[in-house]
Structure 1
């Protein structure tokens, strides 16, 4: 038996994987909505998150102090898919959301929502950076809206989120998710128009 959260993470993975597979080697130096990351650095960051949060699902620890380069060969897309499947499996365990994270000192559900947020928002970052379409897994959006809003004050103190991006009235729920992290939902790289 799995928990419902595993289904959310599986849906997020199924929307993120085509974006990762669609990144061309020639695009690895391109800018992303995350000022401190180009596409290569963002892929390595996301890889590190996917691997590290596997251990956190079992209330273990993870080292995010360094980010190894995992894109050194042509198999990195397949390896990312394999590691993402392991992430989904880990967070699908019946007790994955119970208790407090040893590695983070936060409720396990909050840690799981962080993994869901990284996989979803960074997939959008990569899609925008590389001119791909991206539609988030719809059932995860309200969970992220609530969860990331609650995390935002701490995340801003840690310089993980920027200040909330101002949105016009009528913004979509996913645009609200992006904005709470400090992202401009209309971002596009220089010379590349944002998808409509």
Structure 2
């Protein structure tokens, strides 16, 4: 998990519900077969196993932020430990619950070497859920359709921090979407992912 800059400041507390995105991702995680763990994902050089190890960090990490704490940066060598199929979905659900508290959207928090508003970090958390949901669904060959309102929030964040050179620790180099790309395709392209349909 890597946070981006204070690109988006929600105007309500809470400004949105992470529950639907967390639930969709949790369902995907629970359905990952063991023989898919070493399959590639759209995240460059990440297998399904490595993506799951990252997701295993997201829930506890952002939950600490929502509770008013600070966290270190992500562990680049994170490993997937036994019990992940039950633990990750439960952790994602708890993350969504934590962000239903108005206190989770107030003040500032340190993530790694950066400090930013907790409201902006809630947007980063949603982006992690939505975009990695697509990563995992794509790797597994499963359908995935995030809510339009979640895509809108994430797109505003992604477009604010995306660049042709990429955003180290967050996004790869942005890709130019096709002229008829829908909002979700444009979001994926901004994060450096190449959607199946341009």
TM-score by length of structure 2 reads 0.83
Q: Distance in 1 between matches of 2:162 and 2:121?
A: 13
Which secondary structure state, in structure 1, belongs to the residue aligned with residue 90 of structure 2?
helix
Q: Please, what is the CA RMSD of the aligned residues?
A: 2.1
Partner of 2:89: 81
Q: Please point out which of 113, 121, 124 is paired with 1:114.
A: 124
**Residues 181 and 140 (structure 1), Cα distance of their counterparts in 2 relative to 1, 3 Å cut:** same
Partner of 1:47: 56
**Residues 108 and 151 (structure 1), Cα distance of their counterparts in 2 relative to 1, 3 Å cut:** farther
Q: Distance in 2 between matches of 1:139 and 1:6?
A: 9
Query: How many residues are aligned here?
Result: 182
Bigger fraction of residues in helix: 1
Q: Deviations over 1:19-42 (max 9, x none)?
A: 112211000000010112100000
Q: Distance in 2 between matches of 1:150 and 1:59?
A: 25
Q: Distance in 2 between matches of 1:183 and 1:68?
A: 22
User: What is the 5 A alignment of 1:3-82?
Assistant: 3-5=13-15, 7=17, 9-66=18-75, 67-72=77-82, 75-82=83-90
Which secondary structure state, in structure 2, belongs to the residue aligned with residue 102 of structure 1?
strand
Q: Distance in 2 between matches of 1:30 and 1:157?
A: 25
Can you give the 5+ residue segments of structure 2 that lack an aligned partner in the other structure? 1-11
Give the 4+ runs in structure 1 shifted more than 3 A: 2-6
TM-score by length of structure 1 reads 0.84
